[in-house]
Amino acid sequence: MNPPLLAAGTLALVGAAVHGLGGELLVVRELSPRTLPPSRFGGSSMTKAMIQASWHMTTVAFVSLGILELYAATVSGGAGRGAEVIAAGTFTAFAAVAVAAGHSRLPRVLLRHPGPVLLATVAGLAWSGSL
């Protein structure tokens, strides 16, 4: 059993649940098609549908990587090692994107939204458990 990977996987799954449920209720449902611009793919309702799909695809990625971390925490060598590195690298990239997206509002964005800190923590635990 690898405690850092177990913690990373558990945090990733908790974060995914909050992202999926909280995001749907507090962000996506609050988007009004009347205020969204149309896209080349359709009107403003289509823009909302694309935002919603993208949001939940990200949630699925968090769940998948959390499961991968839990798998890597329970096996040793071979596939487990590959899973550790893939998940750690992906969470590192997610953390970098989250911080870069809010770079003009640092450090305030880190205090208002837990995403960048949670992603960086999961990445750190994942790297710690894989080394």
Q: Flag the least confident range among 50-64, 65-79, 81-95.
A: 65-79
* Cis bond before residue 107 (omega within 30° of 0): yes
Give the C-alpha separation, 33 to 96, whole Å.
30
Give the C-alpha separation, 10 to 2, whole Å.
12
The domain limits of the chain are 3-130
- Secondary structure class of 106 (helix, strand, coil): coil
Is the pTM higher than 0.85? The answer reads: yes
Give the C-alpha separation, 46 to 49, whole Å.
5
Q: Calculate mean pLDDT across residues 26-51.
A: 91
Using N-to-C axis directions, what is the helix angle for 44-74 and 3-17, rounded to 10°?
160
